[in-house]
Structure 1
Amino acid sequence: MRKPKIYKILGVIILLTILGGGIWYWQLPNRHKAIVKSYLFEKLGIVNPNWKVENKSETYKMISPEFYIDGIYKSMEGPKASNYVQLSQDSTLLWLTGFHVKAIDNKSLQAISKDFICHTNIDFNDVKYYSSLHLEKRIGKHYPRLTSLSHGMENFSFPAGYGVPMNGNEFLYVTTQSLNHNLPDANFWMRHEVDINYSREKNMKPLMSRTAFIMLPFDKSDPYKSPLDPGTNQCIPVETKNHTYDDGHGNKFSGHWVIPIGKNTYRSEVNSQLEIQDSLRLHAAAIHVHPFATQISLFDKTTNKAIFNSKIVNHKGKIGLTSIDPFSSVEGIWLYKNHKYEIVLDVDNTSKVSQDMMGSMFLFFYDKELDDLLK
């Protein structure tokens, strides 16, 4: 075969590959497009994947790699990066006391709008964590996420005298993700700065984390069909691959669902997530919701009273969350095994289209068992 003919065949193959790759890429959802772009930027050397790290004065500071914002990225769609964290090089017991994230300019590293912060997750290795504290029976009982910061709640600290203990040389896994609800023509680079506060004090009281979130049923045979009876509390899931749960009886639930235009209230029982053996004393709560949420409550159905209400303020004139009230109490509030608890979420979708929603709480209880072990 002559060389010109070989070149033509190779040219056709390359062209078809590019066209096929382009078609495949444009059919991806925003979340997966962001993953592909971030991977290519890293491999082409456009982005340095390494984090900038500083650890002093009991604050572990991290600056993420660059995120390229080139259009609308709704919740859980934007470019993201992950990093392993060791607060110290030895097994000295440290106390986690606070978490902070801010969006910063790519070059000057000065703060920019917090509207470019989606969420920052703090995960831990439950096998190593509980083994080191001689609490092996807790391994695998709960998803090992310590807490999460998100748009509207970019800073969260425990009440004075309380913290989450861990050996300094154990690893935390931090993932931070970008967001852009309002700038369709965006074309810029930015980063996230993540701070973890910790203390070396010896007489603090330990907290343990429980994650509770709204799960709504959906029709597994036709998940994207609107519920015939709104009173059933059914939802339309955003997707059925992520944030989908089974109740053990074949019924499907979603923790990420679609809200229609207007005001609605969603509620979900959370006793099975809290797993209260006798009683627990609640001291802090970090909240995760999406824009158009207006209030979220942890509600005691037995007493018909809210344990706490978290007010949520939305931006005016654009999509986004101005603030979310955290819950923090030195005295604490008791929760009991024989009471029924639920999360109640109020929303007001003032946009002209359906939006996506989540309602989650990272609840921190005094850990008496661990306190006795540490003493």
Structure 2
Amino acid sequence: MLSNRHKAIVKTTLLHQLHLVDSDWEVKDIHQRYTMLSPTLLIDGIYKSMEGPKSSRYIQLSTSDELLWITGFNIKAVDEKNLKEVSKDFICHMNVDLNDVHYYSNFNMEDRIGKQYPRLTSLSGGFEDCIFPSGYGIPVKGNEYLYITTQALNLNQPKIFKKVKHLVSVEHEKYDGTQKPLMSKTVFIQLPFDKENPFKSPLTPGSNQCIPVETKNHCYTDRNGNMLSGHWIIPKGKATYRSSIDEQLQIKDSLRLHFSAIHVHPFATSISLYDTTTRQYIFKSQIQNYNDKAGLLKVEPFSSIDGVWLYGNHQYELVMETNNTSMTLQDMMGSMFLFFYDKEMDEKLKLK
């Protein structure tokens, strides 16, 4: 009677605690690359986004409080036994979270605590690499705790019994005074739905409304009491969705954008950052889907050493285009982790 997601949680917990499959993480730190090999994840049926078996752990890049620079992240799905790489179709996502109270207190920046969701980034199938522009990265104390969560996916093989692991790597280097710090801001599409009849189709087909996947997770209330969902159902065919992100960005004056990590679900064809004040696209990420199955082949990031300016007196939206070529309804999300040059952090580090 459980949902598919809760079945996976119960099965994975039992398999790991009874040691029926490997339940340990393996970690190594060699040549500025910290690697983690997840416990075994058993794929025994269809697992859509955020339904599959998953595992989490805390990591520290070193045991000292030396200042390190995170320059990138990577995830691969590998076979449980020979550790050879297998299809990216078995990667749902890999999240990197931090404790913002501890992190900002280390840099005497307590005024930032609680202002943003404390997730640095998220990788997923089609976007398995997050490599920041040369000379940029995320500053962390070596003994800062990062929380890693990795989850499996299977959209296409209903009859399957496969054991996989996820190999996660964090690229880092020592601070030499020349690197420029980045801060991450999470923005995502939120669409209104009828809180009285949440699973009823909108009265106006094609409008910027949605049917939520569920009303517990990824649901929010705006300042007017309207219900919004960040995880919604898309119909067959093409559609466009848009959502204001001004409250999520919280730009006081101006910020210079250098990189975007993008998280979308299959059947998305593009996602854009749009300046509604100037009516211009800041950038548009093109998304390639497989032609013969459900899944993302490649999600294009934004990356720039020079950067592009966003302003506090402008208004911004995320705009997503989808094309559901399957025969059934599909679920969708659209989010970006936007990395801006952190001038305040840079000045603090140079003073030290």
TM-score, scaled to structure 1: 0.92
Q: Tell me, yes or no, if the aligned pair for 2:67 and 2:175 is still in contact at 8 Å.
A: no
Deviations 1:235-281 (A, max 9, x none): 00000110001113211100000000000000000011000000000
Question: 1:1-375 counterparts in 2 under 5 A?
Answer: 27-202=1-176, 203-230=178-205, 232-375=207-350
RMSD of aligned alpha carbons: 0.8
Distance 1:232 1:119 in 2: 29
Q: If you compute each CA radius of gyration, which structure gives the higher value, 1 or 2?
A: 1
What is the aligned residue count? 349
Corresponding letter in the other structure for 1:62 = M
Q: Tell me, yes or no, if the aligned pair for 2:17 and 2:23 is still in contact at 8 Å.
A: no
Corresponding letter in the other structure for 2:140 = M
Corresponding letter in the other structure for 2:91 = I
Partner SS for 1:346: strand
Q: Return the offset for 1:28.
A: 1.1
Distance 1:75 1:167 in 2: 33
Provide the residue aligned with 1:16 in structure 2.
Answer: none
Q: Return the offset for 1:201.
A: 3.3
Runs of 4+ in 1 over 2 A off after TM superposition: none
Corresponding letter in the other structure for 1:175 = T
Deviations 1:40-90 (A, max 9, x none): 112222123220111111110000000111010010000000011100000
Corresponding letter in the other structure for 1:273 = Q
Partner SS for 1:41: helix
Q: Tell me, yes or no, if the aligned pair for 2:219 and 2:230 is still in contact at 8 Å.
A: yes
Distance 1:178 1:188 in 2: 11
TM-score, scaled to structure 2: 0.98
Provide the residue aligned with 1:12 in structure 2.
Answer: none
Q: Return the offset for 1:232.
A: 4.6
Distance 1:373 1:53 in 2: 32
Distance 2:107 2:220 in 1: 30
Partner SS for 1:77: coil
Q: Tell me, yes or no, if the aligned pair for 2:206 and 2:239 is still in contact at 8 Å.
A: no
Distance 1:232 1:102 in 2: 38
Which structure shows the higher helix fraction?
A: 1
Corresponding letter in the other structure for 1:129 = Y
Partner SS for 2:92: strand
Provide the residue aligned with 1:18 in structure 2.
Answer: none
Distance 1:136 1:48 in 2: 40
Corresponding letter in the other structure for 2:130 = F
Q: Return the offset for 1:188.
A: 1.4
Corresponding letter in the other structure for 1:114 = K
